[in-house]
Amino acid sequence: MVDQPVDVAVIGGGPAGLAAAIKAREAGAERVTIIERSESLGGLLDQCIHTGFGLFYFREDLTGPEYAHRFIERATDLGVKTQLETMVLDITSDRKITATGKDGMVALEARAIVLAMGCRERTRESVMIPGTRPAGILTAGTAQRYVNVDGFIPGKDIVILGSGDIGMIMARRLAMEGTNVKAVVEILPYVGGLIRNEVQCLYDFDIPVFLEHTVVEVHGRQRVEGVTIAKLDKSQELMPGTERLIGCDTLLLSVGLIPENEVSLAAGVKLNPLTGGPIVDDRRETSIPGIFAAGNVVHVHDLVDNVTWEGELAGVFAAEYAMAKAVPVKRRITMEVGENIRYVVPNHICPEREVTIYVRVKEPQEKVSIKVGDITTKSYRAVKPSEMIKLELSRNELGKIKEGVKTLIVNCQKRGREDDKGTGNYLHYVSDGLSGEGGR
C-alpha cells in the first residue's frame, strides 16, 4: 500500500462531490481525485428519472441522469481522476486517507479533502415500528432504485409511512405503474415535503393522506399482510380507539435522512447536533483545517441546485488551501438559532465577503419575518420546516455588523400589522426529489 499524493481528494461522487472536484480543478488544483464507493459517478441522480433538476442552476428542466451527465462530462474533460468501487475506511486529521477497492487497500495523502458522502435513509429500526418482521418493508429510496433502475415493482398494495419528497414522488411513480397506493401516513400535522410534490404527487392522484397518524403495528409472517395505523394527540401519544387496519403487501418508509459522517468523526471533525453534519464556516471548512464538507453530508437539502453550489464553494476553497493560497480570516462571526429556527448553515461566517446562509424553521408559520441580527430582515407569506430558506447576505448588509459583535442570531418572528406589506416572498420550490426533509 503506497501513499498517493493528491492536491484535493473528494470523498463521494454525487452532485456535491462532482461540483467540488470540477471547481477545484478550475481553481488551479492539479491533482484532484474523486473516491466513490459505487460503480459509477452521479450518486442517486441515476435513479431519479423524473424531471425537475437544474431549474435554477441551468435554467432547464432535466432528469437526474441528464443533470449528472453534464457534471461527469465536465469532470472528465478537466482530467479529474476517479477511484470507483472504493470505500473510504479512515481519515486522519492530517488528511491521510485509507480506503479499500477492487485492487486492495489504497492510501492517499491529500493537501485538502472535501467530504461529500451525502446521507442515508432512516430504517424501520430507526423509528422503532413494532410488529413482525416479514418481507415487504423497505425504504422509499430503495424502492425508487428497484422501479427506476432494475424495473422491479416491489408490491401491489402499498402504504407509505412519511410524507417526505421521495415518499410522495414514489407514491406517484407507483400509482403510475398501476399499483394501489392505499395511504400516505404522516406523524406531523402537515405534509413533510414540498408543496409542489404534495399537489402533484398526492392530490392529483387522489392518494389518501393521514396526518397526525403513524404505523403502530406490522402484520404478516412471510410477507406483509397489513399495517395498523392510529392517530396521535398533540403530545404524539396514541389516541385509543383510533386504530385502523389497512391491508397491504408493502410498507415503504420515508421517515428522514441521516448525514453520512462516520469517517468525519474518525478525522475528529466536530458535528452539529442540530443537523447531524459537520460544523462549517462560509468556505465550508470544518473544524479540522484543510477538511471541507458540502451537500447533504452537512445538512439535508431540498434541491440539487443548492447541493451543487455548496459543492462548488467547498471545491474552490479546498483548492486554495491545497495551493497555500488561502486568505487568513480576520474576523469570525458565529451564527446562532433564535425563535422558531431549527438550524442555520454555515455556523460561522466572515463578514468581509458576501455570504449565503441556509435556514430551516421548526414550525410552519404565516406572515413572518426572518431577521438576521440587526443587519437585515426579510418577509415571507409562509414558511414550513420542509422548505429550506436561502438568504443571500450582501457586503453592504454584512458591513452593518458592529465592531466587537461576535454572534448573529437568526429569528423567525410573526410580523406586526404595520409590516404586513412585506416582500411577499413565499417558499414554493420545485422539488427534484433527490433530497429534502424526509426525502432523498
Burial degree of 95 (CB within 10 A; 0-12, 13-18, 19+): buried
Residue 438 pLDDT exceeds 60: no
Residue 106 pLDDT exceeds 70: yes
In this structure, the strands spanning 250-253 and 244-247 are: unpaired
Considering only CA atoms, which of 89, 137, 141, 148 is closest in space to residue 119? 141
Cα separation of 435 and 168, whole Å? Answer: 12
Q: How many helices (H) and strands (E) does the chain have?
A: 9, 28
In the predicted model, what is the mean pLDDT of residues 178-204?
A: 93
User: 215 vs 434, which has greater pLDDT?
Assistant: 215
| Cβ(281)–Cβ(294) below 8 Å | no
Burial degree of 395 (CB within 10 A; 0-12, 13-18, 19+): exposed
Just give the CATH number of 3-120+258-322.
3.50.50.60
Residue 55 pLDDT exceeds 90: yes
Q: What is the predicted pLDDT for the residue at 440?
A: 29
Backbone angles phi, psi at 196, to 5 degrees: -60, -40
- Residue 89 confidence class, pLDDT cut points 50, 70, 90: very high
Note the CATH architecture for domain 123-255: 3-Layer(bba) Sandwich (3.50)
pLDDT digits over 200-221, tens only?
999 999 999 999 999 999 999 9
Please name the amino acid found at residue 124.
R
CA angle 89, 92, 97 (to 5 degrees): 50
In the predicted model, what is the mean pLDDT of residues 409-432?
A: 60
Residue ranges covered by each domain of the chain:
3-120+258-322, 123-255, 333-426
Mean residue pLDDT of the chain comes to: 92
Residue 28 pLDDT exceeds 70: yes
Q: Looking at 133-256, which runs of residues are DSSP E strands?
A: 137-139, 157-161, 180-186, 209-211, 213-219, 226-231, 244-247, 250-253
| Cβ(133)–Cβ(225) below 8 Å | no
- Residue 226 confidence class, pLDDT cut points 50, 70, 90: very high
- Residue 1 confidence class, pLDDT cut points 50, 70, 90: low
Q: Is the pTM of this model over 0.75?
A: yes
Residue 418 pLDDT exceeds 90: no
Longest dimension (CA), the chain: 68
Partners of 408 in the beta sheet? Answer: 335
Domain 333-426: top CATH class: mainly beta
In the predicted model, what is the mean pLDDT of residues 120-143?
A: 93
**Order of strands across the sheet that contains 213-219:** 213-219, 226-231, 244-247
Residue 22 pLDDT exceeds 60: yes
SS3 136: coil
Same fold, 3-120+258-322 and 333-426: no
Residues in the chain: 440
